[in-house]
Amino acid sequence: MRWAGSIGDVTGVYGGLQHPLNPIPPEITRLTGIPDQMVAKQVIDMAGFDP
């Protein structure tokens, strides 16, 4: 794949969680430390991002 355009600057950092459609598999929880309880009812606020 070839990309057109230019490289921009990082203007901010965002960290958030999103409740997944499916349960988090045990191997993913083991790797990330993120269990289902941590993401329950979490939603990423897309309105907070600049287009």
Nearest to 37 by CA among 50, 21, 51, 24: 24
Q: Is the confidence at residue 9, as pLDDT, over 60?
A: yes
Specify the pLDDT at position 7. 77
Specify the pLDDT at position 3. 65
Q: Is the confidence at residue 13, as pLDDT, over 90?
A: no
Using pLDDT thresholds of 50, 70 and 90, give the confidence band for residue 20.
Answer: very high
Q: Is the confidence at residue 32, as pLDDT, over 80?
A: yes
